[in-house]
A and B are shown apart, each in its own frame.
Chain A
C-alpha cells in the first residue's frame, strides 16, 4: 500500500461520501453533505499554543473566516485580546483556501482546522481560513470574489500589520483552494495590495484535452476523470468548457502575464495525482512568463497526503512551506 492505512481510510471514506453526493444531473445533495461533514468549532482556548475564532468579513454575502493565532500565554485570551496587534517584528499572514473541488468542505471542517493549526506553528504565522461560497450553488467567479474580499479585509486590519506597518500576506491553498490562490493573486496585481507569495498544493487545474497522466491514473488513486469533469461543470459558467481560463489559465484562452508583477510561487505536485500534467503545465506557464516559481514534485504521493502527518512527504512539504514563507 502506497499510503499509511489511516490516510487510506480517511481519503477513501471521503471519496465514498462524495460519490453519494454528486448527482448525474449536476445537482448536489447539500443536506447530506453538511450532515456528513465533520466540523469543529473555533476554540479561543489555546490548544498546543494555537487559538482560533471566527470573523464575519462581509455581512452581505455572509463571508465567514476562521482566524488562527499563536497564544502568548497559557490562558484563554480575553475578547479584546483576540485582535491584539502582532507582537514580533514580522509576522506572516497566510490566507488559506481549503480544498474540496469547489463543492466540498468548509473553513470549519475538522481536516482543514487541523491543517491550519499546524501551519500556524510551522510558519509562525497568523492563518485566516476563508469560508468561500461553493459550487454548484455558486459558480465562477463567486469563490474568487470571496477570496478577493478576504484579501482586502486582511490587508486593511490594523492588527494584522507587522512592525513595518505592512501586512505580510501569503496565499496558500490545496486543490480548488490552489486554483483560487492563483486567481486572487491575479486580481491583486491590478491593485496596490501586495501578495508576497503563493503556495499551491495539488492545485485544481484542467483542460479540454485528456492528458497522459489523466488517462494513466484514472480511478487508480481515489480520483476519476469523470468526477473531475463533474466538478468543473459545477463550477464553471454554464456552457463553458474546460479551456475556460479559470480551469486552464495557460491554455488557449489563457491571459498573458507578460510584464505583470506576480508573486513568487511554490507549486507542490503529487506524482499519483491524475491532474499532475495540468499542474506541471501551470508551473511551465509561470516560468515561460519569467515569474519566480519553485516546483516540488513528490513522486509517490497521492492527493491529501498533507492532511495527516504520518508520511515523509508531509514533513518535506511543511519544511518547504516554512522556508518559502520565512525567507
Chain B
C-alpha cells in the first residue's frame, strides 16, 4: 500500500480534461480538470467583489439560498449572481409552529420538551465487564443470524438461549443492551413462529405509536419541515395547488404548510389535499376526521381548502383517477417513509414501483418529496440485512435515549421495534420495510424520468434550528449533493430529497376533464 496515494487520481496535470479532479474530490468538491482554471478565475473575481463590500457580505450570507456546495463551479456562479441581484425566497422559519390537531394530544409537548431537557438523566457509564459482555453479545447475535441464514435452526435456537443469558449481564436499560434485546426477540420470533411473525397492529395502534415517535425524536419533524419547504418553493406563483400525501397518518405535516401558504405574499392559493391511508377496520373514518380538522384550521387562516381521502390497503392500489387531478393544478407528491413499500415484489407481477412512478411522472408534479430511512435494509442476503439493521437501529435507539418524556419514549421504541421485526422476521410480500440508501434512490428515480431539485441552505438552516430548539445535542443535519440528511453523531439516519419529472414529449395523462373522462 502506497501511503501517498489517496486512492483516486492524483494531480490534474496530464489527465483527460473531462475527468473530475481526484484530489479535490477527496476533499468533497467535484470540479472537472478542464474547468479548474475557469473556477479559479471566478473565485478571484468573487474575492474582489467581496473585498469591496465587506460589511454586506455576512448580511448577505443570512439571506442568500445556496445549493449543492460540492459542485464548485455552479456554487461560485450562484454566489456571483447573488451579489448582483439578491432574490428573497419564502420559507417557513418565521412561523410559529402550529398546534397538533388532536386536542387530546399533549399540545404543549414541543415547549415542554425543552424544559424536560434540563432534567435529563445522565446515562450510566459502562463498566469493563459490561463493555465486554456487549461485545460478546453482538458477536453472538451475528453468529446466530448467520446460522439462521444457513438454515441451522437448532444451532440458532441454542445461541438465542446463550444471548438471553448474556443479556442479564448487560445493562439493558440503555445502549446496546436495549437494542440487542429487540434483535434477540426478533430472531426468536423468526425461529419460533415463522408464520405471521411480524408485529402487526391495527391502524389505530399504528397511529398512536407514530404520534409518540413524532414527539420523542426529531426524525419525522425534520421530514415534514424539509418536505414542506420544497413544496412551498415549488408552489410559488401558482394559484391552484394540490398536495397528494401517500401516508396521511394524522396529517401532522400539513398545519405548517397551510399556515405558510396563508402568509404567502400575494395571498394563499386554493389548496387541495388528497390524503391516502389504509382503510379503517374499526368503523372510524379517520381519513375524513383528519380532513375535517385540517379544513377547520385552513378556514381559520382564510385558506380555501378541499380535502379528499383515498383508502387503499396497498400503495400500488392507488390509481391516478382516484386523485382527480385538475388540469391547471400545481401538484406536489409527498412520500414520507413510504416509497420503500413499493419495492415489495410479487413474482407474478414484478415490482409496483415502476408502475407507480410511471403514472406519477405523467401527472407532471411540480415537486415530489421523498424522505426515506438512510439504510440498506433491502439486500437479498438475510445476514447482510441483519447486520445493517443492527447498526442502524443501535444508532436510532442511542438517539432516543436523549428523550426523557414518557410515554413518548417507550412507545417510540415500540414503533421502532415494529420496523426491526419486519426486517428480521418477515420475507416476501410481508416484508415492507425495504429501506434503501439515498444513492440507490437517486439512481432509481433518475432512471424513472425524474431529476433532482436541490434542497438549499434555507432548508438546511431551518432543519438546524428545529434541532436546536427541540432536540438534544448529538443530532446533526448534513447536506449531501442537494439532499439533506438527519443523523445521530455523524451517522445519517434519514435522507430527504425533492424531485421533478423530466417533461416528456407526449401530453400528460391521468387528468380528468370536466366531463370526468380520463384524458
**What is A's interface to B at a CB cutoff of 8 Å?**
4-6, 8-10, 12-13, 15-17, 19-24, 29-32, 34-36, 38-42, 47-49, 54, 56, 59-60, 62, 64, 66, 78-80, 83, 108-111, 114, 117-118, 121-122, 307-310, 315, 318
Contact = CB atoms under 8 A, between A and B. Distances in A.
Nearest to A219: B51
B11 A4 contact: yes
Contacts of B495: none
Contact of B474 (A20, A48, A62): A62
B58 A34 contact: no
Given A31-B464, A310-B23, A39 B58 contact: no
B498 to A, nearest CB: 16
A114 B66 CA distance: 25
B43 A80 contact: no
A34 B1 contact: no
B357 to A, nearest CB: 28
B478 A34 contact: yes
26 contacts: A6-B11, A6-B24, A6-B31, A9-B31, A9-B40, A9-B72, A13-B76, A24-B55, A24-B58, A32-B62, A35-B69, A35-B461, A38-B28, A38-B69, A38-B70, A48-B1, A62-B474, A79-B139, A80-B139, A83-B135, A108-B490, A110-B26, A110-B27, A114-B6, A121-B3, A309-B4
A309 B457 contact: no
Given A12-B40, A122-B3, A308 B47 contact: no
B125 to A, nearest CB: 8
Contacts of A29: 58, 61-62
Interface string B9-28: 01110000000010110111
B105 interface: no
A6 B36 contact: yes
B47 A9 contact: no
A114 B478 contact: no
A47 B5 CA distance: 11
A69 to B, nearest CB: 13
A240 B61 CA distance: 29
A17 B47 CA distance: 10
A118 B6 contact: yes
A12 B28 contact: no
B184 to A, nearest CB: 15
Most buried by B among A34, A35, A60: A35
Interface in B297-315: none
Given A40-B28, A122-B3, A79 B135 contact: yes
A103 to B, nearest CB: 14
B11 A111 contact: no
B155 interface: no
B37 interface: yes
Interface in B368-422: none
B138 interface: yes
A36 B461 CA distance: 11
Nearest first, the 6 closest Cβ-Cβ pairs linking A and B are: A38-B28, A121-B3, A110-B28, A31-B461, A20-B61, A35-B460
B89 interface: no
Given A6-B36, A31-B461, A36 B492 contact: no
A15 B44 CA distance: 11
A323 to B, nearest CB: 14
B509 interface: no
Measured as residues with beta carbon below 8 angstroms from the partner, the interface class of chain B is 35 or more
B69 A308 contact: no
A101 B490 CA distance: 22
B122 A60 contact: yes
Nearest to A25: B58
Interface in B25-71: 26-29, 31, 36-37, 39-40, 43-44, 46-47, 50, 55, 57-58, 60-62, 66, 69-70
Contacts of A5: 12, 36-37, 40
B343 to A, nearest CB: 23
B12 A6 contact: yes
B464 A16 contact: no
Contacts of B476: 34
A62 B473 contact: yes
B166 to A, nearest CB: 13
B491 interface: yes
A65 to B, nearest CB: 10
Contacts of A78: 139, 142
Contacts of A48: 1, 5-7
Nearest to A61: B473
A12 B24 CA distance: 13
Given A9-B36, A9-B72, A54-B490, A307 B66 contact: no
Contact of A118 (B4, B58, B123, B491): B4
Contacts of A9: 24, 31, 36, 39-40, 43, 72
B461 A32 contact: yes
B47 A12 contact: yes
A307 B2 CA distance: 17
B465 interface: yes
B4 A315 contact: yes
B46 A16 contact: yes
A9 B44 CA distance: 9
Contacts of B62: 29, 32
Contacts of A35: 66, 69, 457, 460-461, 479
A16 B1 contact: no
B61 A111 contact: no
A210 B464 CA distance: 39
A307 B27 contact: yes
A8 B40 contact: yes
Nearest to A118: B3
Contacts of A39: 28, 478, 490
Contact of A10 (B29, B135, B474, B489): B29
Interface in B162-177: none
A308 B21 CA distance: 12
A79 B386 CA distance: 13
Contacts of B142: 78-79
B477 interface: yes
Given A35-B457, A60-B122, A111 B37 contact: no
B123 A59 contact: yes
A79 B138 contact: yes
B21 A6 contact: yes
B28 A6 contact: no
A118 B4 CA distance: 7
A13 B10 CA distance: 19
Given A31-B464, A79-B139, A309-B23, A36 B37 contact: no
B159 to A, nearest CB: 15
A35 B139 CA distance: 37
A13 B2 CA distance: 29
B24 A32 contact: no
Given A34-B460, A114-B6, 20 more contacts: A9-B40, A10-B27, A12-B44, A20-B60, A21-B58, A24-B55, A29-B58, A32-B461, A34-B464, A36-B66, A39-B478, A41-B490, A54-B490, A80-B135, A110-B28, A111-B28, A121-B2, A121-B3, A309-B4, A310-B23
